[in-house]
Amino acid sequence: MSGLGCTGPTSHVRHLASLWPGLNSRVLELLRTQNPMKYECAACGYVYDPEAGDPENGVEPGTPFENLPHGSVCPECGIGKDMFEPAG
């Protein structure tokens, strides 16, 4: 009953979409509006992808940038997350 292995709300929605194909367009719209933003490091250009997370630094895939632990830093250059800017 641990949270390990949970792939997050996004994959859960996708699973629901596969169960009810008729809801696809609505679910896809939901996915688009809930899709977490990527953030780019202003110092070195590293891009944090919420879908991929940062497992090497203990960030599970599916973690939105806003939910990164306080004090998180860029894995490339070590600058604080407050220096990241929304990307694409």
Please report, as ranges, the residues that interact with Zn ion according to CB under 5 A: 41, 43-44, 46, 74, 76-77
Show the beta-strand stretches assigned E in the chain: 38-41, 47-48, 84-87
Given a contact cutoff of 8 angstroms between Cβ atoms, the answer to whether 65 and 84 are in contact is yes
For Zn ion, the closer of residues 27 and 46 by Cβ is 46
- Look at residues 58, 60, 79, 17 and name the one whose alpha carbon lies nearest to residue 49: 60
Looking at the Cβ atoms of 45 and 58, the one nearer to Zn ion is 45
CB of 74 to Zn ion, least distance (A): 3
Choice between 17 and 74, CB closer to Zn ion: 74
Cβ at position 51, least distance to Zn ion in Å: 19
Q: Is 41 exposed, middle or buried (0-12, 13-18, 19+ CB in 10 A)?
A: buried
Minimum CB distance to Zn ion, residue 63 (Å): 18
